Structure 1
Amino acid sequence: MTNLEIESFKNNKLGYRIGFHFRQNPYFQNVIIVKELHLGMGGTPVSFSDPILWYRGQNLTLHSEPRRSGRGIYQTFFSWFSDHTSPGRDDIAQILKDDLFRNPLRYYLTPLWVLRQNGSTSGPKPADNSNRDDCVVISDSDDDEDQAEEQANPGRGHSREKEDEDEDEVHGGQDAVSDDSGQEAREDEDSYGEKDEEVDESRGREVRDQDDEEDIEVDEEADEC
């Protein structure tokens, strides 16, 4: 099918005509097939359609019933053209005229389940997963975060390891400097202590020498007397 045309009569309540345009095909000769629905004598709805000129052995309606099946659908769409039993309750004609013809893009752009939800088509609705429970795992370990980050970006994991090594080297250097400073301070304290002891010892010798000299002078004076 290449085109769909719907022509309403002057008064839409009187009826309308639906035309289906086809390109050449191996099934029938018709270039256009028209089905018309209108009010007959006494206001009774009637319908008729163009006969389909099937090629020999290609009639798709031979093994299908012109009436609707128990499920409310035709075994082939072309059986609808020859079904004139209930023109006043022709659902296909109403959908073509009032829905599909007015807004054909709706059937191409709207998901099928939305059409079913709005009652445009029949069939089961898809399961609604919007209320499904979400599982959230909370972990206090930084290792899990590092592992997930490393899996997402392996190069970043190596760079982080490099940063940790550099940081350890910096801290190690600072510790070594602090140890050296402490050792130097202790050595300075020891040297100060040794110097104090030397000063005290020299002062003690001076005092003893002075006492010895005084004793000698006293002894000499006693001998003179």
Structure 2
Amino acid sequence: MTDTMNKKLKRISESDRISEYDHATQKTLEEIDAIQNELDTINEKASEEILQIERKYNRIRKPHFEKRNQLINSIPNFWVTAMMNHPDLSNLFSGQEEEDCLHHLTKIEIEDFEDIMSGYYIKFYFDENPYFENAVLTKEYHLGNDPPTSKSSQIIWKEGYQLGQNTQETTNKNSRKRRVDCLKTSFFNWFNDNIDPYTDDFAEEFKDDLWLNPLQYYLVADGQEEENGIEGEEESSSDDNDDSAIPEDQSGTNSQSASSSLTGRTV
């Protein structure tokens, strides 16, 4: 059922309820309801125009993304480095073998479907490698389905390889973007796990962060994320705890110091 139909049904229900009130209140409520209908019409028109603008600028951005990918292709290990430096996408590396495999990643492409609202796809391009046959791995997100769905191209593994098996574990990782429990998993587990698109945080990070500006993550210096992120937060937390946990008069030093400090401020 479309949003427009839902709104119309809601309006009918509201109209029935208006009749429950006295005449003066009914008249006021009907006027408010009429204005609300006008606002809904304006909002629908605005949404349509916003989509048209989005389509326009998607077309304008596309050649720039293509040119950027051509330049990135000349830098070895650009995408895998940017992913490993990303505070959340770095959780997709489950071990050395998978990291070695992802060094064969040469290009990422992310694009909305033509109508924008119905979904998008993420494409990962690989050069010849000892792990699988595919030159491109595609993950699609269909947001217009009821319920929304995602699907992934089948990975054709070469003999002796099937990466990303039995590697999931839950870890608590602070990042400069969110303070949530992240799932420590494998890139290939994530790729094959076709969950609800609206709960796929990794897809969101690819689309709304890494893809928009991968350079900022490629250029992250070793250890910079820890220095500016987790360690800084832990140090701040430690300082807060130290400030709030002053022992009372065990040796007299702390109370004397506090007293001196207070005296100094009032003089």
TM-score normalised by length of structure 1? 0.47
Greater RCO, CA 8 A, separation 6+: 2
